[in-house]
Amino acid sequence: MGMTMTQKILAAHAGLDSVTAGQLIEVNLDLVMGNDVTSPVAIHEMQDKGFSKVFDKDRIALVMDHFTPNKDIKSAENCKKVRTFAKEYGIKNFFDVGKMGIEHALLPEQGLVISGDTVIGADSHTCTYGALGAFSTGVGSTDMAAGMISGRAWFKVPSAIQVKITGNFQKYVSGKDVILHLIGKIGVDGARYRSLEFTGDGLKNLSMDDRFCIANMAIECGAKNGIFPVDEKTLAYMKGRTSRKPVIFEADADAEYDEVVEIDLNTLKPTVAFPHLPENTHTVDEIEKIPIDQVVIGSCTNGRIEDMRAAAEVLRGRTVADGVRVIVIPATQTVYLQCIQEGLTEAFVKAGAIVSTPTCGPCLGGHMGILAAGERAVSTTNRNFVGRMGHPESEVYLASPYVAAASAVKGYIASPADLD
């Protein structure tokens, strides 16, 4: 029996010729990642057990992104703890204010993850790096601590769902609509502890930013990871970002999948996930006018340069509706600078939006856009659980940058087509 792409990567990192779904294995890690929320716990556990060394100071990444710039004393103390640890242990890849970005946009941008890698991160959206043809998944802080000490991790080999993508996008449709459609189709637990293996001739029509977005939200249907095959776009993205040579794995022709889900890009429409689950999806043309109070454009899901360009395309020359607050958050310093150089920042500000330094901020109800009771937000983030962006009686609607920007102009959930 053949292996999936995920299974091949895990087998190689476990030093095994082959693996099967359900098998327990121990694998070598290429990178261990943590942030300002999860790293302090890992550091405490590591030091509490008396460990004074890490397995490789060049293969640990610590990114201060969730509550930075520090919103309060507790977040400042957490960052200080990580900052001190990074200095004492000689951690090369420590990203603080001024150099940091939202972790899952930053690490690929910096060339720290490449095709064929196995990566764990103490953040559930670590699955983002599957866009590069890597196995990456989120773990708890204690697993992060063990990874920093040993450079190894235990896994149960996942079975897989094959997602066959065909066709091409209609106007104002993007990767966010693909993943929301998929989650709406199979549910938030539809891929529980399975890998989502994306295939099909439609992949050539997905940009890297589309793929990062889709892989990022694999966890939102319970998947262990999401992964894309390596093609010319993948290789072009990695070129010049790293001196390491990518390792390309391909699924066997006779790989076994639990099920096959087909998505025709030609049929997709701008999609919105209603509160309070990402599976509660509706296409924009089905939605009656739902007034909103806030729009957030950014995050590890949709804070990359194509997302900024999409939002600016809609907002340029238009004005945000009265009573709507719009917060634009470029995912990294590089994206922030590109926004300035391309005139996107000017378009945002003239439209009536604010532009923030890179931060996770409002996505997890941290800061920079907390909702009050009864308020509604359209957001390009990845979760809309009860209380996710603030008060338990607030609501978050997940959408693409196109829809978020159009909604900002209209004052209710809308598509750019409604502006034409």
Domain borders along the chain are 5-263, 274-419
Strand pairing class (294-298; 376-379)? parallel
Residues 6+ apart with CB under 8 A from 290: 376, 397, 412, 413
The reported pLDDT for the residue numbered 362 is 87
List per-residue pLDDT tens for the chain, 420 residues long: 799 999 999 999 999 999 999 999 999 999 999 999 999 999 999 998 889 899 999 999 999 999 989 989 999 999 999 999 999 999 999 999 999 899 999 999 999 999 999 999 999 999 999 999 999 999 999 999 999 999 999 999 999 999 999 999 999 999 999 999 999 999 999 999 999 999 999 999 999 999 999 999 999 999 999 999 999 999 999 999 999 999 999 999 999 999 999 999 999 999 999 999 999 999 999 999 999 999 999 999 999 999 999 999 999 999 999 999 999 999 999 999 999 999 999 999 999 999 999 999 888 888 889 999 999 999 999 999 888 989 999 999 999 999 999 999 999 999 999 887
CB 380 within 8 A of CB 302: yes
Instruction: Give dist(CA 229, CA 157) in Å, integer.
Output: 19
- CATH homologous superfamily, domain 274-419: Aconitase, domain 3 (3.30.499.10)
Instruction: Give dist(CA 135, CA 218) in Å, integer.
Output: 12
Instruction: Give dist(CA 18, CA 3) in Å, integer.
Output: 8
Residues 6+ apart with CB under 8 A from 332: 100, 101, 102, 105, 106, 109, 303, 358
Identify which of 154, 152, 151, 148 has the alpha carbon closest to the alpha carbon of residue 52: 148
Please spell the DSSP secondary structure of 206-270, one letter per residue. Answer: S-HHHHHHHHHGGGGGT-SEEE----HHHHHHHTTT-SSPP------TTB--SEEEEEEGGG---
The reported pLDDT for the residue numbered 291 is 97
Identify which of 262, 201, 257, 199 has the alpha carbon closest to the alpha carbon of residue 229: 199
Residues for the chain: how many in total? Answer: 420
The first and second tokens of residue 401, run together, are 């940058």
Give the max Cα distance, the chain: 63
Instruction: Give dist(CA 41, CA 55) in Å, integer.
Output: 18
Q: Quote the Cα angle for 219-221-225, to 5°.
A: 40
Reported as half-sphere exposure (CB side, CA atoms, 13 A), residue 369 has a value of 32
Identify which of 133, 135, 165, 128 has the alpha carbon closest to the alpha carbon of residue 261: 165
CB 358 within 8 A of CB 333: yes
For residue 316, give the 3-state DSSP assignment. Answer: coil
Output helix, strand, coil percentages for the chain, rounded to the nearest 5: 35, 20, 40
CB 107 within 8 A of CB 113: yes
The reported pLDDT for the residue numbered 52 is 87
Phi and psi angles of residue 146, each rounded to the nearest 5 degrees, phi first: -60, -40
The reported pLDDT for the residue numbered 367 is 86
CB 380 within 8 A of CB 369: no
Amino acid at 98: G
Enter the pTM of the model: 0.94
CB 215 within 8 A of CB 128: yes
| Architecture of the structural domain at 5-263 | 2-Layer Sandwich (3.30)
Instruction: Give dist(CA 220, CA 198) in Å, integer.
Output: 16
Instruction: Give dist(CA 357, CA 386) in Å, integer.
Output: 26
Residues paired with 332 in a beta bridge: 101
The reported pLDDT for the residue numbered 363 is 84
Q: Quote the Cα angle for 247-251-255, to 5°.
A: 155
Cβ atoms within 10 A of the Cβ of 419, count? 12
Instruction: Give dist(CA 81, CA 78) in Å, integer.
Output: 5
The reported pLDDT for the residue numbered 29 is 98
For residue 395, give the 3-state DSSP assignment. Answer: strand
Instruction: Give dist(CA 360, CA 302) in Å, integer.
Output: 11
Instruction: Give dist(CA 238, CA 244) in Å, integer.
Output: 10
Instruction: Give dist(CA 321, CA 226) in Å, integer.
Output: 37
Give yes or no on whether 5-263 and 274-419 have one common fold: yes
